[in-house]
Amino acid sequence: MLGLRKVAGVITGAAMLATSAFGLGTAQAADDVIKVGVLHSLSGTMAISETTLKDAVLMMVDDLNKNGGLLGKKVEAVVVDPASNWPLFAEKARELIEVDKVDVVFGCWTSVSRKSVLPVFEELNSMLFYPVQYEGEESSRNVFYTGAAPNQQAIPAVEYLMSEEGGNVKRWVLAGTDYVYPRTTNKILESFLKSKGVAEEDIMINYTPFGHSDWQTIVSDIKKFGSEGKKTAVVSTINGDANVPFYKELGNQGIDAADIPVVAFSVGEEELAGLDTAPLVGHLAAWNYFMSVESEENDAFIKQWKAFIGDDKRVTNDPMEATYIGFKMWTQAVEQAGTTDVDAVRQAMYGQKVKNLTGGTAVMNTNHHLSKPVLIGEIQDNGQIETVWRTEDVVVGDAWSDYIPESAKLIADWTYPYVCGGCEKPMY
C-alpha cells in the first residue's frame, strides 16, 4: 500500500496548497474589515471566463482600499474556487456566508451554478451579485442581476437582423450549448420569431454538449439550411470555449458574414483573444458593453485593468463591466445605508445609479435587474468588436419574458405593494 499512500499524500498536499493559495488569509476575522466573497471558478471548464471576473473584483477592492476603504473600514476579498463544479458552488457559498461571514458575494457565471447557490442565499439571507447575461425567468430577493436579461440582448439582436440595416433575415438557426440558458433563451426567441410571422420550417434549433469540438456536420448543416433561397442568420448561444472550434470551422468552410451572419450572445473580447479573427470579420455580437467603445469612463477602466493585471494585451468585456457596475452600486448602497446589513443595503440598492462605461447611466430597478443600453457590434480583424447599432436610450431589464405565455403575466417587484419575484397580483 506504500505507493498508493504516497500518491494520496501528494494529492492531499497539492489540494491543501491550492486551498491556502486561494484562501487569501481567511484567518483574519475582525470587526474593522468588511468582507467581500468572490465565488468564481478558478479551475475547470469555466476558469477561462471566470478567472477574469475574480481579478476584476480584486481590482475594485484594491481600488476601494486605496481610497480609504468603505465606512472607514478596510475591505477584504475572500476568494474561493468552486472549480466549475455546480454542487460545489452551493457548498462554497455556504462556506463563504457561514464560516467566513462575508457581507456580500460576487460570483457565478453559468445559470446552472446560479440555480445551485440560490437556495443557500435565500436560506441564509445573504446577497449575491450575478454579473453575466442570462435567460431571465427569475428574480430572487437575494440576487442582483447586473448582466443582461433576454430583452436587453437576445430580442434586440434578432430585431436588428430582421431590419433592413441588419440584412432582412428570414430564416433562423438557433444554435446553443445544451443547458438551461440556451434552452430558455431559444424558447423565448422561438416564440418571438413566430409572433413576427416566421414559419416553423424557417427555424432550425440545434444543441451541442459543453466543450464540443467537432463542428463539421453542424456547420455544413447550417450551410445547407442557408441555401433555401432566403436570407439566413445564426443566433448562437454556444457557451464557453466551444466557440473557438465553432468559429474556426465557420472560417474554414468559408461561411462569410455577408452571406450567413452569426450573432453570438456569449462571445466577447475575452473569447476572441484565443482566435485569429480575420476570417470572422463581420460576424456579430450583442452585449451591453464593448471594449472598443470610446468614452472617458471606459478609457480609465481599461487603463486601470491593464495596470492591475500587469499585461498590456489583456482585454475587458461585458461581464467585467457588469461586475464593475454591481460593485460600485453595492459600495454606494452601503455608504447610503451606513451599514453592510443585507436588508438595509437591499433597500438602498433600489434606484442606485452608476455611470455605464459606454455612456449613459445604469439604474437598479426594483425587479433586481438593471437598465442598460444594448449594443450590437461586428467582430474586427484585431479581435475587437466595433459597435454598428445601439439603442438610443437604456433598456429596462425584464425578469419575466413577454414572449412566454406563462411568464408574460408575472411581475417581479421587491418593493411594496408587490414584494415578490414573480406574482400576478400585489402581495399586500
Partner 1 sequence: MRITIKTIIAALLFLLATQASASADLADAAKGLLSKNYSDKILATETIAASGDPRSAFLLEALLGGNLYATKSGNRLVSREKVSDGYQIKDIVTDEDLGVVQSGDLSKIRINNRMRGLIKDLVGRLTLLNEDPALRLKAADSVFKSRPKEMIVPLSDALAAEADSSVAAAMRRALAALNFVHGDTPEAQAEALLILEEQSDPEVKSLLSAEANRLAAIVNPSPEVQEFAARVDRALAKVDEKLAMLGIIENIFQGISLGSVLLLAAIGLAITFGVMGVINMAHGEMVMIGAYTTYVVQELCRNFAPDLLVYSLIAAIPAAFIVAGLCGVAIERSIIRFLYGRPLETLLATWGLSLILQQFVRTIFGPTNKEVSSPEWLSGTLEITGGLALTYNRIAIILFAAAVLFMLLLVLRKTSFGLQMRAVTQNRRMAASMGIRTGWVDAMTFGLGSGVAGMAGVALSQIDNVSPNLGQAYIVDSFMVVVFGGVGNLWGTLVGALSLGVTNKFLEPYTGAVLAKICILVFIILFIQKRPRGLFALKGRAVEN
Q: Which is nearer to partner 1, 118 or 257 (CB)?
A: 257
The cell for 190 is 422561438
**238 alpha carbon, distance to own chain's centre:** 13
Q: Which is nearer to partner 1, 230 or 353 (CB)?
A: 230
Residues 383 and 370: their CA atoms lie apart, in Å, by 28
Out of 195, 213, 361, 415, the only residue in the binding site for partner 1 (CB under 8 A) is 213
Helix axes 296-309, 47-66, angle to 10 degrees: 100
82 contacts partner 1 (rule: CB under 8 A): no
- From the list 250, 272, 244, 274, the residue with the least C-alpha distance to 262 is 250
Binding mask 319-358 for partner 1 (x = CB under 8 A): ----------------------------------------
Residues 104 and 349: their CA atoms lie apart, in Å, by 13
Of the candidate spans 63-71, 129-137, 196-204, 379-387, the one that interacts with partner 1 by CB under 8 A turns out to be 379-387
Number of residues interacting with partner 1: please give it, by CB under 8 A. 69
In this structure, the number of other CB atoms found within 10 A of the CB of residue 409 comes to: 12
Out of 35, 39, 45, 132, the only residue in the binding site for partner 1 (CB under 8 A) is 45
Say if residues 370 and 416 touch (Cβ distance below 8 Å).
no
Of the candidate spans 27-35, 224-232, 333-341, 353-361, the one that interacts with partner 1 by CB under 8 A turns out to be 224-232
261 contacts partner 1 (rule: CB under 8 A): yes
Binding mask 178-197 for partner 1 (x = CB under 8 A): x-------------------
In this structure, the number of other CB atoms found within 10 A of the CB of residue 294 comes to: 9
Residues 352 and 189: their CA atoms lie apart, in Å, by 31
22 contacts partner 1 (rule: CB under 8 A): no
Q: Is 221 exposed, middle or buried (0-12, 13-18, 19+ CB in 10 A)?
A: middle
Which residues in this chain contact partner 1 in the complex, by CB under 8 A?
A: 2-4, 6-8, 10-11, 14, 18, 42-45, 47-48, 51-52, 165-167, 178, 206-209, 211-214, 216-218, 220-221, 223-224, 226-230, 241, 244-245, 248-249, 251-254, 257-259, 261, 270, 273-276, 279, 281-282, 284, 378, 380-381, 386, 388
